[in-house]
Structure 1
Amino acid sequence: MTVRRLPAPADVSLLELLDLEPAGRDGFRAPTVFDERYPLYGGQVAAQALLAAGRTVPDGRPPHSLHGYFLRSGDTGRPMLLRVERDRDGRSFSSRRVVAEQDDRVVFTLSASFQTPEDGLDHQVDPVPDVPAPAESAPFDLPRLLGFEGRQPPQPHGGPWPTRFWSRCTEPLPDDDLLHAAVLTYLSDIMTGLLPLTSEIHEPSASLDHALWFHRPSRMDQWMLMDLVGRTTGGGRGWYTGSLSTPDGVLRASITQESLFRRRRRGSTGREG
């Protein structure tokens, strides 16, 4: 295996980060690494795991859902090994499981389902949030993300980080449904809907599990509105939901995530990972 070690995130492109190489039957490596003071970003390993799963699926079956568990803190400076289990290939659906390891330690597991596109009732119940267009919103630097730009419209709640923002990938992306779903997955873990529930004593931190449903095809090199809503806290955990919609008001994907929600540590500055 050739490890591509780059000195800093600024020297890495998103497509380079998501590039996988074969590692035996149904095995893949993510060889691009770089030095960063933070733990491995959860959206990165989730996107890589989805790509690995999709590489083993028959052509013409994009993902329609994924469910992942963050088991250990990962390291941006170490390559990732992704092992895929082929659970089932039916007439319309394929199911896969992925185990992501660093140094023989499991850091993330993923279950994903893929479906052959078919015609059906296309109906959306709830309207997307009524916010200014990206061109009318203030520029916003999305932390840690490679190859993305952001815009921040007015927020429904106060807080140090937005729960509602526009984003799009600035790198040219090919016409590949699996890749666009992986780029959406990469974006989907960057913020939390739990910040409005933060108190002087308790705050959100590391992600525990993460789920996505891909309702309609997405182009991640076009603007997408992410809207996150905190729902409940209890038992040292917090749970929120979210949506990803295009400027034409079409819901493209939905998010659900649970994170740790504990007493503040001295010197803490907010969400981890």
Structure 2
Amino acid sequence: MLDVLALEEIDRDLYRSTLLFADPFPLYGGQVAAQALYAAGRTVGADRLPHSLHGYFLRSGDAARPTIFRVDRDRDGGSFSARRVVAIQGGEVVFSMSASFQVPGPGPDVQVQETPRVDPPGELPPLALPRLFSMESRRPSQPYEGRFPNRFWARATVPLPEEALVHACVLTYLSDIGTGLSALPENDASPGPTLDHALWFHRPARLDDWVLMDMVPGTVSGGRGWYTGSIATPSGVLAASFTQETLFRPGRNPFRPGR
């Protein structure tokens, strides 16, 4: 897991991934998004934590070649820092991201909706999460039928450092796996590659402890499918929310566990 996030600093605000491996699928979107967030996080103060990111998957990447990450420092204010990141392979942008970081401040802490109530992970059968390094998962009862579960527990199988940025990046890595659209009928069309991904970090969560990922299908139109998701702690604390849009075109597509 920490090898996924390892980046070589080439120059100021310029980084290169170091984990290379053969993969029959295009570069997993959660990997490049997590690395982009980590690159951006290395350009802000340690007291500023990510609170949101918005990413676009522009081209297929290759896991067997390094990715270059260029960070633009858009603004550093009294409480917030804004960054833009482009991920480049072969001279072309494969992914772009805007990310915002904040110095946590005082204020109310309100969670309006309860997170789903499911059996604890220790009582559930294992679930294989394809393409993820150093992650394990458990499958609770499902709200929808589909090829891939819409709801599951997951955690890193290796100890993670205390650094909050690392846990936010591992959460990002996890958030792109699967699809919330797998429950929809596939007679005419089915989910394809990810187009864009947005993620909001509400509260800290350790990703070497269990978190519950829950995805809810939303709508399909114009050859695109859209769904929402949440990631919560075992005690029901909402750690993060995300939305994702994928291609949803006519013709049966083989299940792809990530971009």
Taking structure 1 as the reference length, what is the TM-score of the superposition? Answer: 0.93
Check if 1:223 corresponds to 2:210. Answer: yes
Distance of 1:169 and 1:31 partners within structure 2: 20
Three-state SS of the structure 2 residue aligned to 1:48 is helix
| 1:48-63 equivalent positions in 2, closer than 5 A | 48-63=35-50
Three-state SS of the structure 1 residue aligned to 2:37 is helix
Give the equivalent residue in structure 2 for 1:6: none
Q: Which moved more, 1:131-140 or 1:42-51?
A: 131-140
Check if 1:171 corresponds to 2:161. Answer: no
Give the equivalent residue in structure 2 for 1:36: 23
Check if 1:162 corresponds to 2:162. Answer: no
Q: CA RMSD in A?
A: 0.9
Distance of 1:131 and 1:104 partners within structure 2: 46
Three-state SS of the structure 2 residue aligned to 1:32 is coil
Q: Which moved more, 1:134-143 or 1:66-75?
A: 134-143
* Cα deviation, residue 199, structure 1: 2.3
Distance of 2:146 and 2:85 partners within structure 1: 36
CA-to-partner distance for each residue in 1:104-151, whole Å, 9 max, x for gaps?
110000000000011111010111111100011111111110000000
CA-to-partner distance for each residue in 1:232-270, whole Å, 9 max, x for gaps?
0000000000000011010000010000001124xx322
Give the equivalent residue in structure 1 for 2:254: 269
Amino acid at match of 1:53: A
| 1:21-100 equivalent positions in 2, closer than 5 A | 21-100=8-87
Amino acid at match of 2:101: F
Check if 1:191 corresponds to 2:178. Answer: yes
- 8 Å contact from structure 1 (residues 49, 98) kept in 2: yes
Distance of 1:17 and 1:33 partners within structure 2: 9
Three-state SS of the structure 2 residue aligned to 1:33 is coil
Distance of 1:35 and 1:122 partners within structure 2: 44
Give the equivalent residue in structure 2 for 1:19: 6
Distance of 2:166 and 2:69 partners within structure 1: 17
Three-state SS of the structure 2 residue aligned to 1:160 is coil
Determine which of 77, 80, 88 is the counterpart of 1:101: 88
Amino acid at match of 1:214: F
Amino acid at match of 2:146: G
- 8 Å contact from structure 2 (residues 52, 201) kept in 1: yes
Check if 1:254 corresponds to 2:241. Answer: yes
Distance of 1:198 and 1:262 partners within structure 2: 12
Amino acid at match of 2:20: V
Determine which of 119, 123, 138 is the counterpart of 1:132: 119
| Structure 2 residues not aligned, in runs of 5+ | none
Distance of 2:111 and 2:54 partners within structure 1: 23
Distance of 2:178 and 2:147 partners within structure 1: 11
Distance of 2:18 and 2:139 partners within structure 1: 33
| Structure 1 residues not aligned, in runs of 5+ | 1-13
Give the equivalent residue in structure 1 for 2:110: 123
- 8 Å contact from structure 2 (residues 147, 183) kept in 1: no
Taking structure 2 as the reference length, what is the TM-score of the superposition? Answer: 0.98
Give the equivalent residue in structure 2 for 1:211: 198
Distance of 2:241 and 2:18 partners within structure 1: 30
- 8 Å contact from structure 1 (residues 198, 204) kept in 2: no
CA-to-partner distance for each residue in 1:82-116, whole Å, 9 max, x for gaps?
00000000000000000100111100000000000
Give the equivalent residue in structure 2 for 1:4: none
Instruction: Report the count of equivalent residues.
Output: 258
Distance of 1:65 and 1:210 partners within structure 2: 11
Distance of 2:123 and 2:214 partners within structure 1: 17
